[in-house]
Homo-oligomer: A and B are copies of this chain.
Amino acid sequence: MTTIKDVAKKADVAVTTVSRVLNNRGYISDETRQRVYAAMEALHYEPNELARSLSRKHSRTIGVLVPTIMHPFYSKLIEYVEIYARQHEYNILLYSAKAEKDDIQRCLVGFKANRVSGIIWCLRTQSAAQIIKSSMPMVAFERSLDLNITAVCCDNLSGGFLAAKELNDVGCKNVAIISGTMDKNLPAGGRTEGFIGACSQYGMKAQRFIMTEEEFIAREYWPSLTRILMEHPDLDGIFATSDLIAMQVLQLAKKQGLKVPDDLKIVGFDDVELTLFTIPQLTTIHQPLHEMCSRAVSLLMAQIAGQPVGIQEPLPVRLIKRGSTRKELEFEFTHANDND
């Protein structure tokens, strides 16, 4: 492998000069700069990032911590974060950690050992405390904590409101919200609050059902959902706080002979891709994930650069009307690129 010394020799300059070119510091004439670039080109030189990182004391790497990768929402998130990170010439160091303490500890150790420049994390539980006290640049994703941690969230409150409004608009009288673990710091909290508030405003009867953490991890909500549908045949509208739940509600509704949207209207949340591949397609609340990821990365960069970053406004969500609430859209398909 060619080193900076080889380049210096080839360009007939000092190592320091090459370093200056590489890092854009000090005075460099255009002519010298070109010579150095030419030498790098000729030798296929690629700076050793390990060495640079070692000396720089951080590694142009963003630690990304998610509960699981194999999930439509998180894999989308990772894809976008990776793209934006690369735009800043950062790599990502990916860890998936079910909310077990050990996992998170191991992961933090990994982040530190590899001198990540900052962390983007979205954990389910409050075990986040460990991360927070690790005190390095970080951005929480979809976790608004009481503490003043920089976080990127979408407007979950409005999302809940929009879902209720849609159900009301299409004539529901007796609705339910089905959410994951309730915790006011988790997104389900705001969504529930917005939904319940709007329901009472619209005069709809509203019930709450909460899925377990185990179901979230397994990504299978069937037992609870089956029970809910069986025990509450009078429900005419359901708001699920994630599309994965909504999709399974749709599936079970059909199994039980309910027609969607005739007998039961369903609204999901997230607008992940698979909402497009169900029959009917799922009405859902669109999160501006692209923008959220972009912002998360930018905020992290700002922190790494030592700039103070304040509390962020939540990003606006949007209702996407599809066949699961609108009969007339039953066979009209929207595309992934129509949004976002």
Contact = CB atoms under 8 A, between A and B. Distances in A.
B72 A79 contact: no
A70 B75 contact: yes
Interface string A109-121: 1101111000000
7 contacts: A48-B113, A70-B78, A72-B72, A79-B96, A94-B94, A220-B335, A248-B277
Q: State the number of copies, please.
A: 2
A19 interface: no
A263 to B, nearest CB: 15
A49 B218 CA distance: 33
Interface stretch (A51-59, A163-171, A177-185): A51-59
A46 B113 contact: yes
Contacts of A70: 72, 75-76, 78-79, 273
B59 A69 contact: no
Contact of A274 (B47, B53, B109, B274): B274
Contacts of A78: 69-70, 75, 94
Contacts of A54: 48, 50-51, 54
A47 B219 CA distance: 37
A143 to B, nearest CB: 21
Given A114-B49, A219-B336, A277-B247, A75 B82 contact: no
Interface in A155-199: none
Given A75-B70, A109-B46, A115-B48, A82 B53 contact: no
Interface centre among A50, A78, A94, A254, by most chain B C-beta atoms within 10 angstroms, is: A50
A93 B95 CA distance: 11
A200 B93 CA distance: 49
Contacts of A75: 69-71, 74-75, 78
Contact of A50 (B1, B109, B114): B114
A280 B43 CA distance: 58
**Across chains A and B, which 4 residue pairs bring their CB atoms closest together, nearest first?**
A75-B75, A69-B79, A70-B79, A49-B113
Contacts of A273: 70, 219
B218 A337 contact: yes
A132 to B, nearest CB: 17
A201 to B, nearest CB: 33
Contact of A91 (B69, B93, B335): B93
A202 interface: no
Contact of A114 (B68, B91, B335): B91
Contacts of A79: 68-70, 96
A32 interface: no
A4 interface: no
B46 A50 contact: no
A24 to B, nearest CB: 18
Contacts of A113: 46-49
Given A94-B92, A218-B337, A254-B279, A59 B50 contact: yes
